[in-house]
Amino acid sequence: MKAYAISDSVYCLHADVRTNDRFEGIWPIPDGVSLNSYLIRGEKIALVDLIRDWTDAPRQLEEELASIGVKFSDVDYLILNHLEPDHTGWLREFRELSPKAEIIATAKGIKLIEPFYKITQGLREVKDGETLDLGKGMVLQFFETPNVHWPETMMTWEAKSGTLFSCDAFGSFGALGDKVFDDQFSAEEHAFFEKETLRYYANIVSSFSMFVEKAVQKLAGLEIKCIAPSHGMVWRTNPKKIIDLYVTYAGYAKGPGEKEIAVIWGSMYGNTKAGVDAVIKGIEAEGVPCSIRRVPDDDVSYVLADAYKSAGLVLAMPTYEYAMFPPMAYAIDILRRKHVFGKQVLRIGSWGWVGGAKKEYEAAIEPLKWNSLESLEWAGHPGDDSLAALTEKGRELARIVKAL
């Protein structure tokens, strides 16, 4: 394994993680994820962000350092832009290998090191705008970007190469393999990573979209030639693309989203599914694109990504024990936690001997400020009249979305 040169003094080091584990213990990563660190070499050596001991990541990092003649013990400064354990989980082991390295973070970041890792010496807190001179013209500058996506987060700027080390901002799911730069990937690979970037944003960052916009505005004066995130590809040819994607995704938090509809459904015995099929027929008749996710079969990670992007939602669920179908209740709770606001929404569902989902549903969505069409419910299997009404409801929702 080798380090990848961003400039003659700046290198990307990455460990690909391929595992059945879930990111943050919640989100599936079937195509893996990269853990990116960066080395900056002046008279002194700085390592930006670390890793956790996840699928042999420390060995991968050690081999890449060796490819440019560096050992962990050579590192003078370890810069921690963000203290979440996927970037710091190996910190105690690193400290044993490099006892001289000074660990640098924001004041809030430094306060997390002792409770997480029991390290109290060799720490330096830096303030917004402060610089660190490595010699040979390599000067690092630190910019606090709180809540992108933890309160202690900062970004590190190296002006000579024009590189912004952005940690979790501008990141993506997906392992990188034997290439790391945006110009090394095909159009098909870019399409894959764009989907995984949206899913990553919706899953990890969407609750903090206001702070993403503030960070982009704060850094707008920098002449950025390269975006170097902690997950995903390094944007050395077209950094504006990933910045623009993140600005677009942040905008979804304010609405309305793309002119498409996310259909999220669950069915026990096929009766609600019959209603879903009728609604989809109406949506398609109006020519509005739709994505279709079934709960619990499709993981909520993908449900969230589709819902976050789309202007319209269809939520289809049977009544289960006088309340919402539990997998749908969980999906709605995730949408609430991730601030999926301002959507155009249709809820439908079947019930057996009695209803009950409506009351729980309306209480659950109250904070979300959705524009809800009148719900449609029916007993048992939908009859011809119900199916016709469901198709018309699909058309009505699609027309509203088209008009946004």
Same domain flag for 158 and 266: no
Averaged pLDDT, 190-197: 98
**pLDDT at residue 254, as a whole number:** 87
Going by C-alpha positions, the residue among 129, 132, 131 that lies closest to residue 144 is: 129
Domain end point (choices 252, 285, 302): 252
Same domain flag for 178 and 63: yes
Percent of the chain with pLDDT over 90: 97
The whole-chain average pLDDT of the chain stands at 97
At residue 38 the predicted structure's pLDDT band, cuts being 50, 70 and 90, is very high
At residue 118 the predicted structure's pLDDT band, cuts being 50, 70 and 90, is very high
**pLDDT at residue 158, as a whole number:** 98
Give the strands of the sheet with 154-158, arranged side by side.
Answer: 131-133, 139-144, 154-158, 163-167, 226-229
Check residue 234 and report its DSSP letter: B
Separation between Cα atoms, residue 5 and residue 11, nearest integer Å: 4
Averaged pLDDT, 329-346: 96
Q: What is the CATH number of the domain that holds 131?
A: 3.60.15.10
Q: In a 3-state reduction of DSSP, which class is residue 144? A: strand
> Does residue 355 surpass a pLDDT of 80?
no
Mention every residue, 6+ apart, whose C-beta is less than 8 A from residue 166. Answer: 81, 155, 227, 228, 229, 230
Same domain flag for 217 and 347: no
How many residues are listed for the chain in this entry?
A: 404
The count of structural domains within the chain is 2
Domain end point (choices 201, 227, 252): 252
Q: Please say whether the beta carbons of 264 and 270 come within 8 A.
A: no
Helix (H) or strand (E) holding 51: none
Q: What's the distance, CA 135 to chain centroid?
A: 35
Single-letter amino acid code for the residue at 117: Y
pTM of the predicted model as reported, rounded to 2 decimal places = 0.96
Percent of the chain with pLDDT over 70: 100
